[in-house]
Chain A
Amino acid sequence: MTSYRIPEKGRVNQGKPVRFTFNGASYVGFEGDTLASALLANGVHLIGRSFKYHRPRGFLSAGSEEPNALVGTDRGPGRFEPNTRATVLEVFDGLNTTSQNHWPSLKRDIGAVNDALYMLFSAGFYYKTFMWPKSFWNKVYEPIIRGAAGLGKSPTTPDPDTYASRFAHCDVLVVGSGPAGLAAALDAGKSGAKVILVDEQAELGGSLLSETDAGINGQSGWQWLEEARSALAAMNNVTVLTRTTAIGYYHQNLVGLCQRLTDHLPNPPADAPRERLWKVRAHQVVLAQGSIEKPLVFEGNDRPGVMLAGSARSYLNRYGVKVGNRPVIVTSHDSAWLAAFDLAEAGVKVAAIIDIRPNVSGHLMESAAALGVEVLSGWTVTGTSGRLRVASVRANPVSRSGVVGSARTIACDALLMSGGWTPSIHLFSHTKGKLDWNEEGQMFLPGEATEESRCAGAGNGVFSLAAALAEGAAAGAAAALDAGFAAKAASYRVDGELVLTGANNRELPTDRNTSKAKAFVDFQNDVTAKDIRLAVREGFKSIEHIKRYTTTGMATDQGKTSNINGLAIASDAVKRPAPAVGLTTFRPPYTPTTFGAFAGYNRGELFEVTRKTPIDGWAEQNGAEFEPVSLWRRAWYFPKKGETMHAAVARECKSVRESLGMFDASTLGKIEIVGPDAAEFMNRMYTNSWTKLAPGRLRYGLMLGEDGFIRDDGVIGRLTTDRFHVTTTTGGAARVLGMMEDYLQTEWPDLKVWLTSTTEQWAVIALNGPNARKLIEPLVEGIDLSDEAFPHMSVAEGKICGVPTRLFRVSFTGELGYEINVPARYGRAVWEELYRAGQQHGITPYGTETMHVLRAEKGYIIVGQDTDGTVTPDDAGLGWAIGKAKPDFVGKRSLTRPDMQKADRKQLVGLLTTDPNTVLEEGAQIVLDPSQTLPMKMVGHVTSSYWSAALGRSIAMAVIEGGKAREGETIHVPTPGRTHTAKVVGTVFFDPENKRLSA
């Protein structure tokens, strides 16, 4: 294979070859190559097929803006990644890559038939083509389109890599390390400010790496770059991050950076994170993002071998690769001439420079003549030929009056184009900073900033090297100054720089039928100029609509090379100036970013906090199944070997009712309320009255919101006159404490009372069953457990198993019950002691499911399950919990509203299904008349539903409109396949006289 590498040229390490594969074929590149430069050095231009028409495509660019050259990379099992841009992918020994979007092979692709059927795929084709018959959509069109569409193949196995994240703060963040960014970082760094300089590429330098004509301060560009790098490395206050893309600019100078840590390494250390997401809060930001070259829009501008002139220059000067042996240049900007000159000077035969402009500056013409390059100025390009690689270009003269003359065909193996340069304003645009339209340059420029930021260099429309250095230095110094450091902008002397100008174009003029021309605007989404014109003809006037209709700019490259051309054509078609047609909004991330980087450490075990109780380990060792309850994981049930959930729960329920069960209630929220005004505060926060609750007694407390609806509940103990031990629901703990603090701080700062969360201070073991007292009697010290001294709803402090306890006599099951609070670190040991001692009573650990069944048998509600934020105490049958004599409590006033007292409010009732074996589905809707026409009037829904082992049948609770008055009536529950009937009953199914509580 012919090598296109020029020895001794470029920055790649030509002494360090690396071997990699593309589509199974093995190639050799050099350390420092991208996949693109390495393949080009091997003469490979064909890199993939296009998205819609499956047209052969080559490298358009040499940077992150690349729309065509998307490849799959395979770094081993689970490490396949689609859509990696070959122009930024660094090659290393053993890299395996494949092309995309073709079958059976890159060179022979069946899908290319789409190219011949292009009439079907015009703008909005999917809205038009696949409308009828409607029934075809789900079964035929959508699966076929989904199968054929999509970029690359999704990986099928979980990503084995790890990802990291880090926060950082700095005085000045500089984005981009071209001349402007370097100058900014140097001056900000010299001031002593804490500086972070980031660049997406593997090495600093930006355009200096590719454009080697000018010198700085008497040195060559590369010499100056080397010095600048050393200077930055020597400053302890400067952090330089390469391979790091600033992906998004968020409020208050928060900039997201994605740093690629290991992708470029052949053998990354085991466990090394692949990428790190930096969240940088910068005092000042300098954006020096540079600019992106504009393609020209003409028929056949997407053929492999047609690429941006500036990129060809990068391949030559930076990588030592000539992109062809006989290139033709087509341009409307001076900069492409420099690419031609560099190539010619490197010994490449430049076949012609075709300039759209009739007049080009004399010194360019002279240089071209001196290098023996033919110049066709005032010419246009009207087509290209070549199946998998451009073979010739069709060029025509254009007269002063615009008449396109007869064509001439020029043989070539590369066509290098330039339509000028577009400033990269992406990050500035993320901040919603104002954009100003520059009519002369046909570009948007950063206007007034909304953040503490400055733009410099080509990204600010300042394209000359001298001006970019000056502006960068000024921005760096000013940023440091604003961050509080004394700074001065350095001045730079630039030698040998040419003043470059250009003209702007829409589609190039042609002598051919424009309605058939495939002149591409968006290479990645296969959008042509005629698609945009068609969209306008069909009535779309705003770029946002045109974009969505044609999909221009909507691919993974976000239109980096296409937006401005698309806008120019749309603006011409709409006959309105470009800013009136609008610019599409840039959104983060700047370039495609892995989900892994965003997830960071939060995957697997660290995906989310999993709170575990002190007893959790025991439950795990004893075979518990778990369920999540807010952030906690709780033991759900304890199946014995081979036991179903149904059987386990029935066994656990039976055990509690007949002898003894133990339950880990540690997740209950707990708040210690202390102070002389504690009872008054409780009176205001809860519906109940607390004044008369004696120390040593418990009371069920009900909490409402201002709106009068139930928010939380729990059993509350008065330990002393001034000290309450409040319990809340598991999920409501933080919310309740927050609400209490809010009222205390904003409404009643006069109250002398203070709150402390004690949720995690205490492990809580609930013992329930007729043998509960028998079990703890010998283990408790300092508390008389007799029914007289310690009746139901009592609390006392003493010791159990030798450790301090707050012992509650309370029951959420209807059985004799205790909640044993012990300091958390003793929880597991006390649990184990009780379990051991309880063997004589057949003690049975039970989980949340059994707890739910047992409480439902007693009609005890669960806030959040039987209530949904629209249930009043009266609706829930808890009117008795309201202290009627109290002057006020949160929600009291709302309860007097007429709407809250209507008879047809949804009220909590019990349900008994006609078929006792039917367990209704929770959430099922309830209707009164099952034969009414659809849609039926739904009068409520099932809130809780279980199999009750104690009753030998199913039970359920539901909220039903006017439910209390319907006791005895039959209601209907339509479910898929069958409508169930049930009788409305009271909510207490088991032991309605509460005899067992005091057993």
Chain B
Amino acid sequence: MLHEHHPLIGREIAVRKVTPLNIRAVADGARFVLRIDPAQAAQAAKAFGSPLPGKIGDVTVSKGRLAVRLGPDEWHLVVPLTEQEAIETAFAKLYATVPHSLVDVSHREIGIAVEGVAAMLALRSAIAFDIGGMPVGTGCRTIFDKAQIILVREAEDRFRIEVWRSFADHVWGILDAASREIALGI
């Protein structure tokens, strides 16, 4: 196989102060957009091999698989690369009885982890909604400055951004600028 080009892999923003902050690209996974009639989501969960979140905005994490329900008929799935083929095969089998759409978007997105006491402060530089009111274990599609992202709150102080490849530099640049203020405590 040829060499892959990752826009952000190896780059890191780190603030080691009173309010620590660490921002880095997360390791690649396989990603899918699953779109299916919500009435048949249970069958999709079977094919997926892990539960799918039942409420819009909910997130499930199990066996290294992340699923976010973004809309009535839309789930964003991130799984270990090794499981990509098996999941594709399972869904292909399901299609005969339960039509749906499973589309590979592994290369469309870049994952960015934003972690630390100052994580929320960094995100507030460019996200308009009240992140403080976002429960742990939820996610949503939103706007970061001028870029569309998916934001998942994985823990009190840990967030994951999923952003389209060509918008990743912009998001990174804003986070970098915001992290300088945090480092200065200003």
Q: Which residues of A contact B (CB under 8 A)?
A: 162, 164-169, 261-262, 269, 271-273, 276, 279, 281, 601-602, 605-606, 608-614, 617, 632, 672, 674-676, 722, 752-762, 801-803, 823-830, 833
Contact = CB atoms under 8 A, between A and B. Distances in A.
B56 interface: no
B22 interface: no
B99 A601 contact: no
B99 A676 contact: yes
Given A601-B125, A601-B178, A611-B166, 17 more contacts: A162-B177, A169-B130, A272-B181, A273-B181, A276-B181, A606-B177, A609-B146, A609-B167, A614-B165, A672-B103, A674-B35, A722-B99, A758-B103, A761-B103, A802-B1, A824-B107, A825-B6
B43 to A, nearest CB: 15
A606 B170 contact: yes
Contacts of A676: 99
A280 to B, nearest CB: 11
Consensus secondary structure, chain A interface: mixed
Contacts of A617: 5
B108 A760 contact: yes
Nearest to A827: B5
A825 B5 CA distance: 5
Nearest to B128: A167
A639 B146 CA distance: 33
A756 B1 contact: no
26 contacts: A165-B126, A167-B125, A272-B180, A272-B181, A272-B184, A276-B181, A602-B146, A605-B173, A606-B170, A606-B174, A609-B146, A611-B167, A612-B166, A672-B101, A675-B99, A676-B99, A754-B100, A757-B108, A760-B164, A760-B165, A761-B105, A803-B2, A824-B108, A825-B5, A825-B6, A829-B4
Given A611-B166, A761-B106, A803-B2, A169 B133 contact: yes
A524 to B, nearest CB: 33
A261 B181 CA distance: 10
B33 interface: yes
A828 B4 CA distance: 8
A274 to B, nearest CB: 10
Nearest to A723: B101
A162 B28 CA distance: 33
Contacts of A759: 108, 164
B103 A823 contact: no
A160 to B, nearest CB: 15
Contacts of A672: 101, 103
Interface string B100-134: 11111111110000000000010011111110110
Nearest to B175: A601
A803 B177 contact: no
B124 A168 contact: yes
B145 interface: yes
A195 to B, nearest CB: 14
A164 B132 CA distance: 20
Contact of A754 (B73, B129, B181, B184): B73
B177 A760 contact: no
B108 A758 contact: yes
Contacts of A761: 103-108
Given A752-B99, A756-B105, A612 B174 contact: no
Contact of B5 (A269, A276, A675, A829): A829
B108 to A, nearest CB: 4
Nearest to B163: A760
Nearest to A632: B166
B103 A756 contact: yes
A697 to B, nearest CB: 21
A670 to B, nearest CB: 10
A762 B105 CA distance: 9
A554 B8 CA distance: 50
Nearest to A604: B173
Contacts of A833: 2
Contacts of A755: 35, 101
B2 A802 contact: yes
Contacts of A261: 186
> Shortest 4 CB-CB distances between A and B: which pairs?
A754-B101, A754-B35, A611-B166, A829-B2
Nearest to A673: B101
B33 to A, nearest CB: 5
A164 B177 contact: yes
Contacts of A610: 169-170
A632 B165 CA distance: 12
Interface string B153-186: 0000000000011110110011001101100101
Nearest to B171: A609
Nearest to A265: B186
Contacts of B130: 169, 281
Contacts of B169: 610, 612
Nearest to A608: B146
A820 B1 CA distance: 16
B147 interface: yes
Contacts of B125: 164-167, 601
B33 A756 contact: yes
Contact of B186 (A272, A828, A830): A272
Contacts of A825: 4-6, 28, 107
A470 B103 CA distance: 63
B3 interface: yes
Contact of A166 (B124, B145, B146, B167): B124
Contacts of B105: 756, 758, 761
Contacts of A824: 107-108, 165
Contacts of B132: 169
A384 B174 CA distance: 57
A309 B128 CA distance: 44
**Which of B36, B101, B105, B184 counts the most A-chain CB atoms under 10 A from its CB?**
B101
B27 to A, nearest CB: 13
A830 B166 contact: no
A279 B128 contact: yes
Contacts of A827: 5
Contacts of A756: 33, 35, 101, 103, 105
Interface string B134-148: 000000000001110
A803 B107 CA distance: 13
Contacts of A614: 5, 165
A801 B130 CA distance: 47
A27 B162 CA distance: 56
A674 B101 contact: yes
A767 B169 CA distance: 28
B147 A609 contact: yes
